[in-house]
Amino acid sequence: MSCKTPARTIFDRATRQWFLLALPLWFLTVPLKAEESLASFLQTAEAEHFDEPLLLAQFSEFNESLDAIESPVTEVLDQLDTISLDRSLQQSFTTESFDSRAGTQQPNNFTAFPDFNRGIVVIGEEAALKIGGFVKADFITDFDPIDSVDSFDTSQIPVGAAERKNSRFHARSSRLSFDTRWKVQQEVVRAFVEADFFGGEDGSNGSLRLRHAYGTMGYVTAGQTWTTFTHPSAVPQTLDFEGAVSNVNRRQGLVRLDLPLGNWGWSWAVSLEDPRIEIDIPVGVTGEGRTESPDVITHLKLERPRGDFQAAFVMRELGFQPVGDPVITGTAWGFNFTGSAKATEDTRLYSQITFGEGIGSYRGSPDVVSTGPSSAAILPMFGWMVGCKHVWNDRLTSNLTYSELFLDPIAGQDPTNLRQTNYLAVNLIHNPVDRVFVGIEYLYGMRENQNGNQADATRLQMSFGFYLP
pLDDT tens digit sequence for 278-311: 988 887 788 888 888 999 999 999 999 889 999 9
Give the pLDDT mean for 314-318. Answer: 96
* HSE-up of residue 260 (Cα within 13 Å, Cβ side): 8
Per-residue pLDDT at 135 exceeds 80 = yes
pLDDT at 14: 46
Q: How many angstroms separate the Cα of 169 from the Cα of each of 241, 436, 461?
A: 13, 19, 10
User: How is the chain split into domains, by residue range?
Assistant: 7-91, 132-171+221-467
Residue 12 confidence class, pLDDT cut points 50, 70, 90: low
Categorize the per-residue pLDDT at 449 as very low, low, confident or very high, splitting at 50, 70 and 90: very high
φ, ψ for residue 257 (rounded to 5)? -115, 120
Average pLDDT over residues 236-240: 93
Task: Look at 158-162, 407-411, 423-427 and tell me which has the smallest mean pLDDT.
Answer: 407-411
Q: What is the pLDDT of residues 205-217, one digit of tens each?
A: 989 999 999 999 9
Helix axes 53-92, 38-46, angle to 10 degrees: 150
Residue 15: phi and psi, rounded to 5, are -65, -40
- Residue 151, helix vs strand vs coil: coil
**Higher-pLDDT residue of 63, 461:** 461
State the Cα–Cα distance between residues 447 and 364, nearest whole angstrom: 14
* C-alpha–C-alpha distance, residues 385 and 33, integer Å: 64
Those residues whose C-beta lies under 8 Å from the C-beta of residue 44, and which sit 6 or more positions away, are: none
> What is the band of 323 on the pLDDT scale with cuts at 50, 70, 90?
confident
Lowest mean pLDDT among 66-80, 155-169, 398-412, 452-466: 66-80
- CB contact set of 406 (below 8 Å; sequence gap of 6+): 381, 382, 383, 419, 420
pLDDT value for 16: 52
Of 307 and 67, the one with more pLDDT: 307
Mean pLDDT for the stretch of residues 265-270: 96
Mark 261-280 as b/e (b = at least 16 C-beta within 10 Å).
eeeeeebebebbbebebbbb
Residue with the bigger pLDDT between 265 and 3: it is 265
DSSP tag of 245: T
For the chain, the first-to-last Cα distance in angstroms comes to 83
CA distance linking residue 55 with residue 57, whole number of Å:
5
Query: Between 374 and 12, where is the model more confident?
Result: 374
Which residue, among 90, 98, 94, has the nearest Cα to 120 in the 3D structure?
A: 90
Q: Which pLDDT score, from 0 to 100, does residue 194 have? A: 97
The pLDDT value recorded for residue 293 is 94
User: In the CATH scheme, what architecture does the domain 132-171+221-467 have?
Assistant: Beta Barrel (2.40)
pLDDT-derived band at 371 (thresholds 50, 70, 90) equals confident
| More confident site: 433 or 111 | 433
Q: Which of 15-19, 69-73, 121-125, 295-299 has the highest mean pLDDT?
A: 295-299
Q: What percentage of the chain reaches a pLDDT higher than 90?
A: 60
How does the average pLDDT of the chain come out, rounded? 85
**Looking at residues 85-112, what average pLDDT do you find?**
68
Of 22-36, 66-80, 189-203, where does mean pLDDT reach its minimum? 22-36
102/391 Cα distance (integer angstroms): 18
Query: Residue 58: its pLDDT value, please?
Result: 63
How far apart (Å, rounded) are the C-alpha atoms in residues 196 and 173?
6
Determine the pLDDT at residue 109: 84
pLDDT tops 70 at residue 440:
yes
Q: Report, as an integer, the average pLDDT of 364-370.
A: 90
CB 339 within 8 A of CB 328: no
Q: Which backbone phi and psi does 234 adopt, to 5 degrees?
A: -105, 20
Confidence of residue 101 (pLDDT cuts 50, 70, 90): low
List C-alpha distances in Å: 271 to 46, 194, 223, 256, 297.
76, 21, 11, 4, 5
Residue 446 near residue 415 (C-beta atoms within 8 A): no
At 88 the pLDDT is 64
462: pLDDT strictly greater than 80:
yes
Q: Is the pLDDT of residue 262 over 90?
A: no
Distance of CA 277 to the CA centre of its chain: 27
Query: Bridge-partner residues for 120, per DSSP?
Result: 131
Confidence at residue 28, expressed as pLDDT on a 0 to 100 scale:
42
- CA atoms of 321 and 328, how far apart (whole Å): 6
Residue 403 has pLDDT above 50, yes or no: yes
Where would I find the beta strands (DSSP E) of 151-219?
166-170, 175-184, 187-199, 207-217
Q: What's the mean pLDDT in 350-378?
A: 91
